[in-house]
Amino acid sequence: MKEADYIKSLGAIDVLDREEFSSPGKPLGKERWAGAVDVVGDIVLANICASTRYGGVVTACGLAGSMDFPATVAPFILRGVTLAGIDSVMCPRARRLEAWERLGRDLDLEKLKSIANVIGLTESIGYAEMLLAGKLRGRVIVDISR
């Protein structure tokens, strides 16, 4: 996997290939993790839930793949897995402040800076094409004043 060293430099202990999650899997997979964060949805989210340990929690905070959820209820009934939706729109102010304080305390700002690409608005079309082609890593910040 070509990005494994980069991802580990950000703090990951292990890196799994996205192909492992991109095809339909079994309703219940081998129990692998106690929790997960999914930004893709669709088959990826279904596979993550299917491999979550008994009593585990999966948070879904994105729909990069699609809004579909082609899964069964097996992980939820047989393993007590919780699927929690994370939204940033309706979250109460006090909870947001708590989250920002925690990020300010626990996040390594140098690592955060290392994944950011700041571009001007005129560059956004080219970056969007690279993003869709899977040729970007990190985050892109569009500075509209540039």
Per-residue pLDDT of 1-48, as tens digits, reads 788 999 999 989 999 988 899 999 999 999 999 999 999 999 999 999
What's phi and psi for 140, nearest 5 deg?
-110, 125
- Distance (Å, rounded) from C-alpha 107 to C-alpha 44? 26
The predicted pLDDT at position 34 comes to 97
Secondary structure of residue 35 in the 3-state scheme: strand
CA distance 118 to 60: 26
Distance CA 102, CA 55 (A): 25
**Which tens digit of pLDDT belongs to each residue from 50-78?**
999 999 999 999 888 899 999 999 999 99
Q: Which residues does residue 60 pair with via DSSP β-bridges, in sequence order?
A: 38, 85
Which amino acid does the sequence have at 44? Answer: V
pLDDT band at 132 (very low <50, low <70, confident <90, very high): confident
Strand 82-85 to strand 116-120: parallel, antiparallel, or no bridges (unpaired)?
unpaired
